[in-house]
Amino acid sequence: MKYSIMVNEGPYTHQASDTALAFCKAALEAEHEIFRVFFYHDGVNNGTRYTVPPQDDRNIQKEWSKLAEAHDIDMVICIAAAQRRGIMDADEAKRQGLDGDNIAPGFRISGLGQLIEGGIIADCQLVFGD
Amino acid sequence: MAIKKFMFVNRKAPYGTVYALESLEVVLIGAAFEQDVSLAFVGDGVYQICKGQSTDGIGMKNFSPTYKALGDYEVTKLYVEKESLEARGLTLDDLMPLVWEDEDDDYAEKPSIRLVSSEELATVFDEQDVVLSF
């Protein structure tokens, strides 16, 4: 089965991102395909590499980045939601005249069309949120 | 590209959180992709399409006029759950008169809002290919 995933909540505040991550791992283990993970609302906060949780806690951002790298998963952060919340890649930071970017490895910034496309292409779209 | 039935489920009040505003942004993109788009308003989501919204003093944009433009994007199916309206002491008269123009019927204005029971709404959900909840 080809899945498309939507993550609508940020890390730590809410369980949604952990659950989405666990789902993706389980789906991949069962030899399903993750077509795309789309981060929206506060979900975009999963994609900043400046995430530094205490050492005895999980690093959710790194877990996503590792998963993307290991399985070549397309992980997209919504540009409109990202701009509101200060998540930038190098191009966008330059365009906005900002002094740096913070996007984590494995994530890319793109538009909402990527979410709709995910829904069209995947057999099943799952939303993880509040 | 294939056309799928997309349902956007609006469950939250329009202000206080950003979910409603950002949901509407997705709806407009979904329509631009020429998908078969429906919206459902349940729970506090019914407040999103109430008449006479004013955001004076809370510093948020009043985005309620955007719902009136949905008909122009061929988003013409807005399901409102009857039980949710009733539980909040609201009736159809409290909602914006949202309409769409039917090209095949001499551009007659037709209501977009469909008042349905939760049971009827369940049937509508069942027919969807993609359900996104906000």
Q: Is A114 an 8 Å CB contact of chain B? A: no
Q: Which residues of A touch B29 (CB under 8 A)?
A: 111-113, 115-116
Query: Chains A, B: CB contacts under 8 A, how many?
Result: 50
In chain B, what are the domain boundaries?
5-133
Q: Do A8 and B4 touch (CB under 8 A)?
A: no
Residue B2 pLDDT > 90: no
pLDDT for res A40: 97
Q: Give the residue-averaged pLDDT of B122-127.
A: 97
Residue B1 pLDDT > 80: no
Q: Do B133 and A120 touch (CB under 8 A)?
A: no
Q: Which residues of A touch B128 (CB under 8 A)?
A: none
Q: Is B86 an 8 Å CB contact of chain A? A: no
Superfamily of domain B5-133: DsrEFH-like (3.40.1260.10)
Query: Of A62, A58, A64, A53, nearest to A20 (Cα)?
Result: A64
Q: Do A125 and B33 touch (CB under 8 A)?
A: no
Q: Catalytic residue positions of A?
A: 78
Rounded CA gap, B44 and B23, in Å?
Answer: 14
Q: Which residues of A touch B33 (CB under 8 A)?
A: 113, 116-117, 120
For chain B, state the CA radius of gyration: 14
Q: Is A40 an 8 Å CB contact of chain B? A: yes
Residue B122 pLDDT > 90: yes
B75-111 burial, b for 16+ CB within 10 Å, e for fewer? bbbbbbbbebbeeeeeeeeebbebbbeeeeeeeeeee
Superfamily of domain A2-128: DsrEFH-like (3.40.1260.10)
Structure tokens at A22: 């666990």
**Residue-wise pLDDT tens digits, B62-120:** 999 999 999 999 999 999 999 999 999 999 999 999 999 999 999 999 999 999 999 99
pLDDT for res B134: 95
Residues of chain A with pLDDT under 50: none
For residue A54, give how far its alpha carbon lies from the nearest alpha carbon of chain B (Å): 28
Q: Do B33 and A40 touch (CB under 8 A)?
A: no
For residue B129, give how far its alpha carbon lies from the nearest alpha carbon of chain A (Å): 8
* Residue of chain A nearest B26, judged by CA positions: A112
Rounded CA gap, B46 and B41, in Å?
Answer: 5
Q: Is B14 an 8 Å CB contact of chain A? A: no
Q: Which residues of A touch B133 (CB under 8 A)?
A: 127, 129
Q: What is the ipTM of this complex?
A: 0.91
* Phi/psi at A103 (5° precision): -70, 140
Residue B42 Cα distances to A100, B25, B73, B86, B101, angstroms: 41, 18, 22, 11, 25
**Residue-wise pLDDT tens digits, B26-75:** 999 988 998 999 999 999 999 999 999 999 999 999 999 999 999 999 99
Q: Which residues of A touch B30 (CB under 8 A)?
A: 116
